[in-house]
Amino acid sequence: MSAELLRESGHYAFVSSVSAYATPYRPGFDESAPLAGLDDPATEDVSGNYGGLKAACEREIEEVFPGRSTIVRAGLIVGRYDPTGRFTYWPTRIARGGEVLAPAPPERPVQFVDVRDLAGWIVLACEERIAGAFTATGTPVPFRELLETCREVAGSEAAFAWVGHDFLVERDVGEWMELPLWLADPNFARMLEADVSKVFAAGLEIRPLADTVRDTLAQAATVDGVGLDPARERRLLAEARAAGGDALRVEHDG
């Protein structure tokens, strides 16, 4: 109904999500990847059908605005005033120092986009009538690079305790929210490895990671229910150390 109301407005920009893609995610997936479906097209259960509903919205918009819409399949949006804490946890936790539980392997790619970069590109897309679907997020970076950047920006002496994947799964550590940016479910494990060449060719520019971390710390707020509880983090590290083997590897600065 809203799309119909705006039919004569010229151009429509819709903020969709990488969740609109069907699972399982494949490494390097791009805009040609299949989209999520709905078992019940009439459902309004957003929590259980978020991706499918986003994809359904895209179809409605493309029908009303053929060739006149920008579909923004945004990745994890981070930066100032983030109400979710899903990125903010890492800069704030590392700023506290001590041993920081991090999900191994350190080379695991993570992917996100600063809210200001994304917003600026959406405005550009509207001004220039850039039509089509775009996976709008930053280039993947190794988890270690993210954490080391947080440590450098915060001036912290934190040490990174890289804990094995199997160990975390066996102890029911919650992916994404309890341990942000960690994805354990095989269907979603590659969600942070999108090919973003199309959106970069269309003008998306990404600021340095250090700037995003710095601004996040400047406006950081505690979000209940996000990130490892400090007591649970200490228990997990103690158990990993006792388990030995590949369960734990600690890296200090330098």
Angle of helix 89-96 relative to helix 143-154, nearest 10 degrees? 50
Nearest to 91 by CA among 254, 234, 220: 220
Do the Cβ atoms of 13 and 69 come closer than 8 Å?
Answer: yes
Q: Which residue has the tokens 């191994």?
A: 104
* pTM value surpassing 0.85: yes
Half-sphere exposure of 115 (CA within 13 A, CB side): 13
Helix (H) or strand (E) holding 60: helix 46-64
Nearest to 205 by CA among 141, 150, 159, 138: 138
Domains and their CATH numbers in the chain = 2-251 (3.40.50.720)
Nearest to 74 by CA among 125, 148, 144: 125
The per-residue pLDDT for 124 is 98
Instruction: Render pLDDT for 68-124 as a digit per residue (tens, 0 to 9).
Output: 999 999 999 999 888 888 999 999 999 999 999 999 999 999 999 999 999 999 999
Instruction: Render pLDDT for 149-163 as a digit per residue (tens, 0 to 9).
Output: 999 999 999 999 999
Q: Which residue has the tokens 């979710």?
A: 84
Which of residues 41 and 224 earns the better pLDDT score?
41
Do the Cβ atoms of 100 and 94 come closer than 8 Å?
Answer: yes
Residue 44 and residue 66: Cα distance in Å, rounded?
25
Q: What φ, ψ does residue 98 adopt, rounded to 5°?
A: 80, -170
Both tokens of residue 182? Answer: 């960690």
